[in-house]
Amino acid sequence: MPGVIRRLLGGGLAATLLAVTVAACDSSGDAPAAPAEVVLDRAAETTVPFSVDNAGEVVLDVTTSAPGVSWGTVGSESAVVSVFVDGTYTTDVVIPASFPIRRGLALGALTPGKHNLRLLFAEDRSPQGSSTAKLSDFAFRTIAPGDPQYAAARNAPVLYGRTAVNPALLPGTPATGPFQNALTDAPLVAFYSEAPTAVSGHRLFTYSMIWSNEDGGTSTPALMARWGRTTDIEWTYQVEVDAAGNAVPGSAVIQAPEHVQAPFTGRLEGTHPVLQTCTLNNNMCDPTDGKMRFSLALGEPLDQADEARERVMDRNPWTYWVMAQEVNREGKVTEAPEASSTDLISDPRNYLYLVIRKSTLGQPNTDDAWVGLSVGVRLSGNPNTFRSSGVYPAWSIQRDSPAQTAIALPPGTVAEDIASIQATRLIGAGYDTGARIQVDSIEQAFFLGPDGLPQKSFLFTPAKATLTAAAPTATLFRRPTGTS
- Residue 3: the pLDDT is 53
Residues 187, 334 within the same domain: yes
Q: What is the pLDDT of residues 92-130, one digit of tens each?
A: 999 999 999 999 999 999 999 999 999 999 999 999 999
Residue 392 clears pLDDT 50, i.e. is over it: yes
Contact residues for 28 (Cβ-Cβ < 8 A; gap 6+):
none
Average pLDDT, the chain: 91
How far is 253 from 256, CA to CA, in rounded Å?
Answer: 9
- Residue 196: the pLDDT is 96
- Residue 15: the pLDDT is 28
Does residue 483 lie within any of the structural domains?
Answer: no
Number of domains in the chain: 3
* Partners of 135 in beta bridges: 38, 64
DSSP state of 98: S
326, containing H or E segment: helix 318-329
Residues 157, 281 within the same domain: yes
Residues 135, 249 within the same domain: no
Q: How confident is the model at residue 484 (pLDDT cuts 50, 70, 90)?
A: low
Does residue 263 lie within any of the structural domains?
Answer: yes
Sign of the alpha-carbon torsion through 104, 109, 112, 116: negative
- Residue 26: the pLDDT is 43
- Residue 482: the pLDDT is 65
- Residue 203: the pLDDT is 97
How far is 472 from 439, CA to CA, in rounded Å?
Answer: 12
Selected residue with higher pLDDT from 177 and 157: 157
Residues 326, 210 within the same domain: yes
Other Cβ atoms less than 10 A from the Cβ of 75: the count is 9
CA-nearest of 81, 2, 98, 74 to 44 is 2
Lowest mean pLDDT of 14-23, 159-168, 169-178, 227-236, name the range: 14-23
Does residue 240 lie within any of the structural domains?
Answer: yes
How far is 145 from 242, CA to CA, in rounded Å?
Answer: 14
Residues 62, 1 within the same domain: yes
Question: Which one of 125, 142, 159 terminates a domain?
Answer: 142
Residues 83, 206 within the same domain: no
For residues 152 and 59, is the Cβ–Cβ distance under 8 A? Answer: no
Residues 389, 442 within the same domain: yes
Residues 288, 361 within the same domain: no
Q: How many residues does the chain have?
A: 484
Does residue 484 lie within any of the structural domains?
Answer: no
Q: Which domain holds residue 186?
A: 148-345
Q: What is the pLDDT of residues 398-440, one digit of tens each?
A: 999 899 999 999 999 999 999 999 999 999 887 899 999 999 9
Q: What percent of the chain has pLDDT over 90?
A: 84
> Residue 30 maps to which CATH number?
2.60.120.260
For residues 467 and 362, is the Cβ–Cβ distance under 8 A? Answer: no
Lowest mean pLDDT of 6-15, 65-74, 143-152, name the range: 6-15
Rounded average pLDDT over 323-338: 95
Question: Which one of 296, 322, 345 terminates a domain?
Answer: 345
Rounded average pLDDT over 275-279: 94
User: How far from chain centre, in Å, is Cα 438?
Assistant: 29
- Residue 367: the pLDDT is 87
CA-nearest of 342, 335, 346 to 406 is 346
